[in-house]
Amino acid sequence: MPLLWLIGIVLAIAVAGYVIGRKRALDSAGGDPRNLHSLPSYYGSNVAMKVVVPSVLVLLVWLIVQPIYVGSVVSGALPDRAIADGSSRDLVMAEVRRTADGLNNAVAQGIMTDEEARDMRADFTDVTQRLKDAGQIVTSEVTQPILNAAQQFRAMNATGAIAMAIVVTLLAIGGLLWGLKESEKDFRARNTVEQGVKALLIAAASIAVLTTVGIVLSLIFNTYEFFKLYPWYEFFFGTTWSPSFSGRGGSSELGIIPLLWGTLYISIVALAVAVPIGLFAAIYLSEYAGPKVRAVAKPLLEVLAGIPTIVYGLFALLTVGPMLVSVFGKEGLGIMQSGTAVMTAGLVMGIMLIPFVSSLSDDIINAVPQAMRDGSYGLGATKSETIKQVVLPAALPGIVGAILLAASRAIGETMIVVLGAGAAARLSLNPFEAMTTVTAKIVSQLTGDADFASPEALVAFALGMTLFVITLGLNIFALYIVRKYREQYE
Amino acid sequence: MTDASMHETPRKSSIHTIDARTKQRNASESRFKAYGIAAIALGLFFLVVLFVSIVRSGLPAFTKTVVEVEFTLTQEQFEQAESQLMKTGAYQDLFIAGIQSQLDARNIDVQADPAALERLLGKIGGDIRAFYSENPGMVGEPHVFGLSASSRVDGYFNGRVTRETLVDSRFLQASDLDLVDALFEAGIIKSAFNWGFITGADSGVDNPGGAGIGVSVVGSFFMMLVVLVLSLPIGVAASIYLEEFAPKNRWTDLIEVNISNLAAVPSIVFGILGLAVFIQFMHLPQSAPLVGGLVLTLMTLPTIIISTRASLKSVPPSIRDAALGVGASKMQAVFHHVLPLAMPGILTGTIIGLAQALGETAPLLLIGMVGFVARGYPDGFVGGFVEPNSAMPAQIYTWAARADASFYDKAWGGIIVLLVFLLTMNIIAIILRRRFERRW
Amino acid sequence: MYDAPHYTERDVAQTDTKISAKGVQVYYGDTHAIKDVDVEIADKTVTAFIGPSGCGKSTFLRCLNRMNDTIDICRVQGDILLDGEDIYDRRVDPVQLRAKVGMVFQKPNPFPKSIYDNIAYGPRIHGLAKNKADLDVIVEKSLRRGAIWDEVKDRLQAPGTGLSGGQQQRLCIARAVATEPEVLLMDEPCSALDPIATAQVEELIDELRRDYSVVIVTHSMQQAARVSQKTAFFHLGNLVEYDDTSKIFTNPEDPRTESYITGRIG
């Protein structure tokens, strides 16, 4: 556990720094804390901060950069002849990594000595068999170039780990000396520590931005790779979705239109279930229900929102699907082939969205000022007339916003459609047919055996990009409407 | 028009008689109200159907059918069996003969066909031999063996397999069911609580009966540990900055917009992020709870930040003013006074965020936690983070995606376990809120 | 218990009694908000309710068209008769009652609709217009009665929320008038308005007296003196004194009334 040890060493130095720094500051003030600028603990914290922050930062960066650097060096050193036809450099590198891991584990279990692992030659020793005996997963015969590369990989990583340990420890000690030098009674320790803490707070807040950047970059980068292999106009305007499973064959047709249609259709069915039920439930709860009914019904409805989507997926696959088949299937109306269909997924997704629509609408209806209702009652309107003609029109923008948010949920929902909607991409109007969605295909393209560099896998990123842009647009628009609406009554 | 025309028909109607129009309006009022009640009733109906189907389909996963037979192996039989070439076969024959004699003793007229028993119980000779070679002292003594019946026998008892639907196969034949019924009458076949489901590991695709959720619970536990350790401090730090220190500038606006948008980004997109950044770019191990935890952390952070900011906001400014008034720095005011007061709210929000993360499946599909057969518990604490494992929702998905319908019971059972965890977390959150709720 | 002054039959006998309340008690949950109030409100008269904040004058006003029904915890006891019929009778539909007893609120509350639709709302729900032309006539007439026609006749389709505060309040009065009520209740109709708008509304109230019985709640004694013929003084849920406005302001019988109008309490 060299990494844990290293972190332990840094922390130990930090603790020592805290104690010594505090003592030094106190000594410089003649043992009387009142002569210090700040409380003694701030001097200690200052030292500890200077030990931990730079060294841990370097440690993190090192941990991220080293594998990338080592990978590219080893990959560059791979001779071309080591890459078989139909394979790629990335695949060979994966093999190299596996072999290196295998060697590491074999050494760790004492099956090989370190020297053997370093100097072994594939032509002389039966490496593959020995690794297999050691319980390592080796997919193909380990060839000499791969073994060489794996040995180089191991060596570089080992050197890197030692260098990292040295650099990090030195930084920690340097920080310790720097902090101790500052531990002087006139030093403004509190201000320094607070500046440091504030920097940490800002860094934490910036993680949200980093996440978005990460999402956007990983989507853009891979989508770009995909469009290098597959023409963008065929992706956006193609009406057939039939990826070939052979891997790198050019026979795949990857048109997004059928997937978008499936997504849209299922979302429409879901909203057709969720919006009326959710809206009427919200109206009843906020305008009619007494406090007791409200106290029971509202949390119960919200339970539906707390149930994980995998549960809904299973519910669609095993309960709702067969139920619909018994009514609409061969024995019933004969218009439904199998349990997985647009209707199944849409219905279950609608159930999931009921509390989403109802609690958002509830908030929005409650934000309509009571004066508005009083004005209507004062004119002799009934409750329902007031709701239909005064409250709902006043709340309309907010409700539209809520429905848009629900639509964005429906479009991005994955588990229900993966389990309940089927896998066939088709353009059809029959809601009892199986269709598939953008999210379901992202899952199937990335969980299959396809090579990550193939268009069949990369298309998932283009799908993800489309999904991200659509939902982001819907969310921003919906939040804008809801916010505008709130301002109107505040 | 003059004012006089307005009163050409003075409406001096009595308010004690309801006119036709009012009746009509009241009828429409009742209809409208009925729609509302119907909507609520429908919503609650769906909830009930959902729970009934979960409980009904899930409970069988917690029981298993065991064949309990008292069996005595004599010293002679032991030596004879050990001397044979097919030792386990010999044990099996002896055992089946034992069952047969018990059936005869109870006057039950059924032939315990060895092949049928093998279909019901699997190859049991090995288990029996292992028992006697571990406990040689038991030879000659009576011992009650509890052997798990195959998952199809389970299915027969909970109604999934019936005589009508059964298709004869190498797994089970219709004639075997007579034997099962006879054994059941004799009290040899019983239902027992299936501890293996709660503590066990996933089995392969061919052994639904032996599949358990225990290992993936551990996987989920390590993932939640990662989420908790990362998202609580980061979320609280980010909220403190945004709520207490952030100046009003472009960067803060950008952060705010980002947080509200990230809260609504589909979870599958976080999975893509995890795949591209953590696995492809940083080469972290696939299927590891560490990676799952990182992805779920990024997903949960917006939720935690939003609820934390709400609890920080609910601490009245007078507290801050009081602290600043006695000469505390802004940082001290926040950390010594505001944060402790906001802590119950923060913890409640964090638990709810964790519960949400615990049930999330889609991102886990992309980082390889599905399809991986979690066969054993991780070695030690560090192994828990980096060794490939499954997680509860991913395990449920894996079972649901398998072709064998016997796994569906397991999937529903897994859902019950998952929901029990979620329920516990939510109850803790509610108790925390009730206990520490403060009205200013 | 306070001995109610004998505002004698003589004072109200001059005109017909429109609303007559006897022994009215109102409870909000456990709070006894209105204690045993008797009052007779005359037709074609402006009656003002005055008193310090929280004295129950608005609560009592809201009993007169059963607006308190919309508040769950509110209970009303006693008799309130409109033209001799009990409005809390089981057979009464509050919806029908409120068509006869219109109400204008403290804060102008136009609906988020056009000016035209604001006025047309009442006639539409009560089915007062046979056709569109009929409705146009009602709208114009009501706006004229609300003394706002000239200001809005060119923009009837503009949103009612876009008007100024005083215009909004006159729009709300016009809206109440459009359902042809017999009684108009006004709950501090000028408290959210500036002095000029207040003057316009007060002028309008005086106009309305010709056709309706108007009941106005106000916290401004000057306003009560200016617009009303009869004044009732409420204090702590009791009706302290009820008489001709001139009498109340010049020669009150009860010491509490005097304290209030001279500014010592309230």
User: Are B126 and B246 in a shared domain?
Assistant: no
Measure A471 CA to nearest chain B CA, in Å.
Answer: 7
Is the pLDDT at B44 greater than 80, yes or no? yes
Q: Chain A contacts of C98, Cβ < 8 Å? A: 377-380
Is the pLDDT at B230 greater than 90, yes or no? yes
User: Are B271 and B303 in a shared domain?
Assistant: yes
Residue among B401, B404, B394, B355 nearest B374 (CA): B394
Residue C245, token pair as written in the block: 């406005």
Q: Chain C contacts of B30, Cβ < 8 Å? A: none
Measure B37 CA to nearest chain C CA, in Å.
Answer: 19
ipTM: 0.85
Q: Which pLDDT value is given to residue B236? A: 95
In a mutational test of the B interface, the residue from A105, A200, A211, A285 whose CB has the highest number of chain B CBs within 10 Å is A211
Is the pLDDT at C194 greater than 90, yes or no? no
Is the pLDDT at A91 greater than 80, yes or no? no
Taking the C-alpha atoms of residue B170 and residue C88, their distance in angstroms, rounded to an integer, is 80
Lowest mean per-residue pLDDT among A100-104, A222-226, A264-268: A100-104
Gyration radius of chain B's alpha carbons: 33
User: Are A353 and A484 in a shared domain?
Assistant: yes
Answer whether residue A437 is part of any domain.
Answer: yes
Per the CB < 8 Å rule, is C95 touching B26?
yes
Q: Who has greater pLDDT, A279 or A130?
A: A279
Measure A338 CA to nearest chain B CA, in Å.
Answer: 15
Nearest by CB: B360 against A280, A308, A418: A308
- Sorted by sequence, the CB contacts under 8 Å of residue A83 that are 6+ apart come out as A89, A92
User: Are B256 and B369 in a shared domain?
Assistant: yes
User: Are B152 and B275 in a shared domain?
Assistant: no
Q: Which pLDDT value is given to residue A125? A: 61
Is the pLDDT at B299 greater than 90, yes or no? yes
Q: Which pLDDT value is given to residue C3? A: 45
Is the pLDDT at B359 greater than 50, yes or no? yes
Q: Who has greater pLDDT, C266 or A172?
A: A172
pLDDT band for C6, please (50, 70, 90 cuts): very low
pLDDT band for C117, please (50, 70, 90 cuts): very high
Most confident among B101-105, B148-152, B219-223 (mean pLDDT): B219-223
> How confident is the model over A242-268, as a mean pLDDT?
81
Is the pLDDT at A308 greater than 60, yes or no? yes
pLDDT band for B282, please (50, 70, 90 cuts): confident
User: Are A309 and A385 in a shared domain?
Assistant: yes
pLDDT band for B439, please (50, 70, 90 cuts): low
pLDDT band for C142, please (50, 70, 90 cuts): very high
Work out the mean pLDDT of chain A and round it to a whole number: 85
Q: Which pLDDT value is given to residue A438? A: 93
Q: Which pLDDT value is given to residue C112? A: 85
Is the pLDDT at B48 greater than 90, yes or no? yes
User: Are A478 and A338 in a shared domain?
Assistant: yes
Lowest mean per-residue pLDDT among A154-163, B67-76, B420-429, C159-168: B67-76
Measure A405 CA to nearest chain C CA, in Å.
Answer: 24
Is the pLDDT at A63 greater than 60, yes or no? yes
Q: Which pLDDT value is given to residue C13? A: 40
Per the CB < 8 Å rule, is B39 touching A276?
yes
Per the CB < 8 Å rule, is B16 touching C100?
no
User: Are B73 and B99 in a shared domain?
Assistant: yes
User: Are A196 and A180 in a shared domain?
Assistant: no
Lowest mean per-residue pLDDT among A331-340, A447-456, A468-477, B389-398: A447-456
Measure C125 CA to nearest chain A CA, in Å.
Answer: 7
**CB-based burial of residue A165 (10 Å sphere; 0-12 exposed, 13-18 middle, 19+ buried)?**
middle
Answer whether residue A241 is part of any domain.
Answer: no
Nearest by CB: C125 against A373, A381, A393: A381
pLDDT band for B9, please (50, 70, 90 cuts): very low
User: Are A173 and A195 in a shared domain?
Assistant: no
**CATH code: domain of residue A280:** 1.10.3720.10
Is the pLDDT at B421 greater than 90, yes or no? yes
SS3 sequence, chain A? CHHHHHHHHHHHHHHHHHHHHHHHHHHHCCCCHHHCCCCHHHHHHHHHHHHHHHHHHHHHHHHHHHHHHHHHHHHHHCCHHHCCCCCCHHHHHHHHHHHHHHHHHHHHCCCCCHHHHHHCCCCCCCHHHHHHHCCCCCCCCCCHHHHHHHHHHHHHHHHHHHHHHHHHHHHHHHHHHHHHHHCCCCCCHHHHHHHHHHHHHHHHHHHHHHHHHHHHHHHHHHHHHHHHHCCHHHHHHCCCEECCCCCCCCCCEECCHHHHHHHHHHHHHHHHHHHHHHHHHHHHHHHHCCHHHHHHHHHHHHHHHHCCHHHHHHHHHHHHHHHHHHHHCCCCCCCCCCCCCHHHHHHHHHHHHHHHHHHHHHHHHHHCCHHHHHHHHHCCCCHHHHHHHHHHHHHHHHHHHHHHHHHHHHHHCCHHHHHHCCCCCCCCCCCCCCCCCHHHHHHHHHHCCCCCCCHHHHHHHHHHHHHHHHHHHHHHHHHHHHHHHHHHCC
Q: Who has greater pLDDT, A249 or B237?
A: B237
User: Are B127 and B148 in a shared domain?
Assistant: yes
Measure C96 CA to nearest chain A CA, in Å.
Answer: 6
Lowest mean per-residue pLDDT among A72-76, A305-309, C26-30: A72-76
Give the pLDDT confidence of C67-107 residue by residue, as tens digits: 888 787 888 888 999 988 899 988 888 888 898 899 999 88
Answer whether residue A238 is part of any domain.
Answer: no
pLDDT band for C8, please (50, 70, 90 cuts): very low
User: Are B379 and B230 in a shared domain?
Assistant: yes
Answer whether residue B4 is part of any domain.
Answer: no
Is the pLDDT at B420 greater than 90, yes or no? yes
pLDDT band for A137, please (50, 70, 90 cuts): low
Domain boundary among A166, A187, A208: A187
Measure A322 CA to nearest chain C CA, in Å.
Answer: 46
Is the pLDDT at B1 greater than 60, yes or no? no
What chain C residue is nearest to B22 in terms of C-alpha separation? C96
pLDDT band for B8, please (50, 70, 90 cuts): very low
**CATH code: domain of residue C217:** 3.40.50.300
- For B123, the domain range is 63-205
Residue C47, token pair as written in the block: 């009656």
User: Are B290 and B382 in a shared domain?
Assistant: yes
Taking the C-alpha atoms of residue A240 and residue A252, their distance in angstroms, rounded to an integer, is 9
> How confident is the model over A98-106, as a mean pLDDT?
76
Q: For chain A, what is the domain count?
A: 3
Q: Which pLDDT value is given to residue B368? A: 81
Q: Which pLDDT value is given to residue B232? A: 94
Q: B-contacting residues of A 408-427, CB under 8 Å?
A: 408-409, 411-415, 418-419
Residue A122, token pair as written in the block: 């594939």
Most confident among A265-274, A323-332, B54-63 (mean pLDDT): A265-274
Per the CB < 8 Å rule, is A379 touching C105?
no
Answer whether residue C239 is part of any domain.
Answer: yes
> How confident is the model over A386-399, as a mean pLDDT?
90
Q: For chain B, what is the domain count?
A: 3
Work out the mean pLDDT of chain C and round it to a whole number: 86
Q: Who has greater pLDDT, A490 or B3?
A: A490
> How confident is the model over A156-183, as a mean pLDDT?
89
Taking the C-alpha atoms of residue A7 and residue A59, their distance in angstroms, rounded to an integer, is 9
Work out the mean pLDDT of chain B and round it to a whole number: 83
Answer whether residue C140 is part of any domain.
Answer: yes
> How confident is the model over B37-45, as a mean pLDDT?
95
- For A155, the domain range is 2-187
Interchain contact A394–C (C-beta under 8 A): yes
- For C176, the domain range is 9-261
Task: Let me know: does A151 contact A118? Beta carbons within 8 Å.
Answer: yes
Interchain contact B27–C (C-beta under 8 A): no
Domain boundary among B181, B205, B229: B205
Q: B-contacting residues of A 369-408, CB under 8 Å?
A: 382-385, 387-388, 405, 408
Q: A-contacting residues of B 321-380, CB under 8 Å?
A: 329, 331, 355, 358-362, 365-366, 368, 370-371
Answer whether residue C2 is part of any domain.
Answer: no
Domain boundary among B205, B231, B254: B205
Q: Who has greater pLDDT, C250 or C264?
A: C250
> How confident is the model over A257-269, as a mean pLDDT?
94
Q: For chain C, what is the domain count?
A: 1
Give the pLDDT confidence of A428-478 residue by residue, as tens digits: 888 888 899 999 999 988 886 667 778 888 899 999 999 999 999 998 888
User: Are A201 and A281 in a shared domain?
Assistant: no
Per the CB < 8 Å rule, is C122 touching A380?
yes
- What is residue B78's DSSP assignment? H
Is the pLDDT at A273 greater than 90, yes or no? yes
> How confident is the model over C6-23, as a mean pLDDT?
63
Task: Let me know: does C76 contact C26? Beta carbons within 8 Å.
Answer: yes
User: Are B104 and B220 in a shared domain?
Assistant: no
User: Are B176 and B296 in a shared domain?
Assistant: no
Count of alpha carbons within 13 angstroms of residue B174, beta-carbon side = 7
**What percent of chain C is modeled with pLDDT above 90?**
35
**Residue B37: C-alpha distances to residues A289, B69, C95 (Å):** 9, 57, 22
Answer whether residue C4 is part of any domain.
Answer: no
pLDDT band for B5, please (50, 70, 90 cuts): very low
Q: Which pLDDT value is given to residue A385? A: 92
In a mutational test of the B interface, the residue from C81, C96, C119 whose CB has the highest number of chain B CBs within 10 Å is C96
Answer whether residue A239 is part of any domain.
Answer: no
User: Are A305 and A264 in a shared domain?
Assistant: yes
User: Are A183 and A193 in a shared domain?
Assistant: no
User: Are A292 and A337 in a shared domain?
Assistant: yes
Taking the C-alpha atoms of residue B99 and residue A368, their distance in angstroms, rounded to an integer, is 76
> How confident is the model over A60-70, as a mean pLDDT?
85
Per the CB < 8 Å rule, is C125 touching A369?
no
Domain boundary among B28, B59, B90: B59
Is the pLDDT at A1 greater than 80, yes or no? no
Answer whether residue C3 is part of any domain.
Answer: no
Q: Which pLDDT value is given to residue A350? A: 96
Interchain contact B9–C (C-beta under 8 A): no
pLDDT band for B253, please (50, 70, 90 cuts): confident
Answer whether residue C266 is part of any domain.
Answer: no
> How confident is the model over A136-160, as a mean pLDDT?
76
**CB-based burial of residue A395 (10 Å sphere; 0-12 exposed, 13-18 middle, 19+ buried)?**
buried
Nearest by CB: B43 against A202, A281, A446: A281
User: Are A219 and A265 in a shared domain?
Assistant: no
> How confident is the model over B288-295, as a mean pLDDT?
91
Interchain contact A301–B (C-beta under 8 A): yes
